[in-house]
């Protein structure tokens, strides 16, 4: 999976950013950027090998991480909206509640009980 210089430039254009400004904002040196652009694949060789062995594109192996990240972002956005609707609420309470609501009730109880128990200290 290659890094697309064209896509990056297009995205910069949409955001009215120069490539230099983007690299500065991201804390990525020009050397590192052009090194990545020149690479046949930005993924570790082992990921490409796994994908080849499975007969799928490397991106198919990355989907799960993307989905998790999108889910986490959606949850944070929801927490922000709820906190925005009532400033007296604690954002962490909202976030933890939303996280727990994604679990089954029995799992919520399990966490509640386990976290109250002291771990054995060695």
Partner 1 sequence: MPENLIFSKKEIAFLRELERQNVEFMLVGAAAAALQGAPVVTQDVDLWFEDLKDPGIQTALRKSGGIMVPSFGQNPPTFAGDAVKLFDIVLTMHGLESFAQEKKNSFTVRLGTVDVNVLNLDRIIASKEAIRRPKDLLVLPVLRDTLRTLSWKKMKDAAPKTLKGRKG
User: What residue ranges bind partner 1 (CB under 8 A)?
Assistant: 82, 85-86, 89-90, 93-94, 96-101, 104-113, 115-117
State in angstroms the smallest separation of the CB of 80 from partner 1: 12
Q: Diameter of the chain by CA atoms?
A: 56
Residue nearer to partner 1 on the CB measure, 59 or 93: 93
Long-range contacts for 35-44 (Cβ within 8 Å, ≥24 apart)? 36/3, 37/3, 37/5, 39/2, 39/3, 40/2, 41/1, 41/2, 42/1, 42/2, 42/3, 43/1
State in angstroms the smallest separation of the CB of 98 from partner 1: 7
Residue nearer to partner 1 on the CB measure, 16 or 85: 85
State in angstroms the smallest separation of the CB of 78 from partner 1: 8
Residue nearer to partner 1 on the CB measure, 18 or 112: 112
């Amino acid at each position: 999976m290659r890094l697309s210089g064209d896509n990056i430039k297009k995205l910069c254009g949409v955001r009215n950013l120069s490539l230099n400004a983007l690299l500065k904002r991201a804390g990525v040196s020009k050397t590192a950027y052009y090194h990545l652009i020149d690479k046949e694949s930005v993924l570790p060789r082992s990921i490409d090998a796994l994908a080849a062995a499975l007969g799928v594109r490397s991106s198919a192996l990355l989907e799960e991480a993307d989905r998790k990240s999108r889910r986490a972002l959606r949850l944070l956005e929801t927490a922000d909206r709820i906190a925005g609707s009532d400033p007296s609420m604690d954002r962490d309470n909202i976030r933890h509640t939303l996280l727990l609501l994604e679990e089954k009730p029995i799992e919520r109880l399990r966490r509640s009980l386990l976290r109250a128990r002291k771990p054995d200290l060695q």
